[in-house]
Amino acid sequence: MSTVTVEAAQGPALGDDLEAAPPGSFLVTLIIRRYIPEIDDEPRWQDFDVRVLPTDRILDALHKIKWEQDGSLTFRRSCAHGICGSDAMRINGRNRLACKTLIKDLDPSKPIYVEAIKGLPLEKDLVVDMEPFFESYRQIQPFLIASSAPPEGRERIQNAVARERFDDTTKCILCAACTSSCPVFWTDGQYFGPAAIVNAHRFIFDDRDEGSKVRLDILNDKEGVWRCRTTFNCSEACPRGIEVTKAIQEVKQALLTHRS
Ligand code: SF4
Ligand code: FES
């Protein structure tokens, strides 16, 4: 993790009140890949100088640009705390959540490049159409499948060891950072993608679930787990630290052994 020495406040940016510049603030340049379908034939890069604190996040800088410089800048966010998964974007060429990326952890002496995640249809600026991503997610049936009801007034009991088996993959927030960092997904568009497999894993290895065979059959498809080339992009991209490639490997292994 890099740290920066923050110089005294520099010159004012557009929409910046120098007298109100907070101590320790400085100017950083964000170069954002813009696309407004009503006016742009192709995406274009646009520079914005914005005053930030080192502890500000990329999301804070985007808010400042939108509120103070250009209200047309479009991006998704909801929780602003790494939980909802709505603000995955490419920041300096790497998929990250804007709300979890601190300015000081980048190199703010250089411009910071921000663009939409890849492999999904671009709708506007940093917003992509997530429907193909969620369609793959729905196909793996991401819910408990059980033929019997739980005991009257009780939950389905599971011991700690059995729960641990799929603990990692319960952490997914469906941000699509993994799937949209996968070269197979970029070139193909049909591949289920890492996130769908992670969420299948969460149920395949749950000993209360009876749908493992169904999900394994789905992922045995030519667009399923065998498309994975183990590039580890997905694991590196995951903001929740999920071992995505390992989960994919475990699903492959389950298919080979027909055990879950
Ligand atoms: S596995 Fe990680 S990167 Fe992929 S969708 Fe879930 S939280 Fe996001
Ligand atoms: S805004 Fe919810 S995860 Fe970033």
- How far does the centroid of ligand 2 lie from the alpha carbon of residue 57, in Å? 11
CATH number at residue 77: 3.10.20.30
CATH number at residue 191: 1.10.1060.10
Note the pLDDT of residue 189: 74
Confidence band for 113, pLDDT divided at 50, 70 and 90? very high
Q: How far apart are CA 26 and CA 9, in angstroms?
A: 5
- How far does the centroid of ligand 2 lie from the alpha carbon of residue 82, in Å? 4
Candidates 202, 83, 189, 186; CA nearest to 140 is 202
Is there a domain that residue 232 lies in?
yes
Q: Which residues line ligand 2 (CB under 6 A)?
A: 77-80, 82-87, 97, 99
Confidence band for 99, pLDDT divided at 50, 70 and 90? very high
Residue 120 amino acid letter: L
Q: Give the dihedral of Cα atoms 116, 119, 123, 126; nearest 10 deg.
A: -10
Q: Over 70: is that where the pLDDT of 5 sits?
A: no
Judge if 211 and 239 occupy the same domain: yes
Is there a domain that residue 9 lies in?
no
Judge if 113 and 141 occupy the same domain: no
Q: Over 70: is that where the pLDDT of 136 sits?
A: yes
| Mean pLDDT to the nearest integer, 157-169 | 97
Ligand 1 pocket member 173 (CB < 6 A)? yes
- The pLDDT tens digits of the residues spanning 206-233 come to 999 999 999 999 999 988 999 999 999 9
Q: How are beta strands 94-97 and 112-115 bridged, if at all?
A: unpaired
| Mean pLDDT to the nearest integer, 60-79 | 98
Judge if 114 and 192 occupy the same domain: no
Is there a domain that residue 98 lies in?
yes
Judge if 92 and 203 occupy the same domain: no
- How far does the centroid of ligand 2 lie from the alpha carbon of residue 101, in Å? 11
Counting ligands in written order, the one closest to the CA of 173 is 1
Helix (H, G, I), strand (E, B) or coil at 45: strand
Candidates 92, 83, 77, 95; CA nearest to 178 is 95
**For residue 95, which atom of ligand 1 is closest to its CA?**
3
Judge if 52 and 99 occupy the same domain: yes
Judge if 113 and 212 occupy the same domain: no
Is there a domain that residue 200 lies in?
yes
Average pLDDT, whole number, for the chain? 92
Confidence band for 16, pLDDT divided at 50, 70 and 90? low
As for how many domains the chain has, the answer is 2
Confidence band for 18, pLDDT divided at 50, 70 and 90? low
- The runs of H, that is alpha helices, within the chain are 58-68, 131-139, 160-164, 183-188, 194-204, 212-219, 233-237, 244-257
Lowest mean pLDDT among 3-12, 48-57, 70-79, 156-165: 3-12
Percentage of residues of the chain with pLDDT beyond 70: 92
Q: Over 90: is that where the pLDDT of 133 sits?
A: yes
Between these two residues, 167 and 7, which has the higher pLDDT value?
Answer: 167
Ligand 1 pocket member 247 (CB < 6 A)? no
Judge if 191 and 213 occupy the same domain: yes
Note the pLDDT of residue 222: 86
Q: Over 50: is that where the pLDDT of 2 sits?
A: no
| Mean pLDDT to the nearest integer, 254-259 | 84
Under 8 Å between Cβ of 247 and 179 = no
Q: What is the pTM assigned to this prediction?
A: 0.90
Judge if 104 and 222 occupy the same domain: no
Is there a domain that residue 13 lies in?
no
Q: How are beta strands 26-34 and 44-52 bridged, if at all?
A: antiparallel
Judge if 91 and 210 occupy the same domain: no
Is there a domain that residue 218 lies in?
yes
**Residue found under tokens 């954002």:** 32
Judge if 114 and 203 occupy the same domain: no
Residue 84 sits in which domain range? 18-127
Residue ID of nearest Cα to ligand 2 atom 1:
80
**For residue 175, which atom of ligand 2 is closest to its CA?**
3
- The pLDDT tens digits of the residues spanning 173-193 come to 999 999 999 999 998 778 999
Ligand 1 pocket member 195 (CB < 6 A)? yes
- How far does the centroid of ligand 1 lie from the alpha carbon of residue 112, in Å? 23
Is there a domain that residue 30 lies in?
yes
Helix (H, G, I), strand (E, B) or coil at 132: helix
| Mean pLDDT to the nearest integer, 14-24 | 68
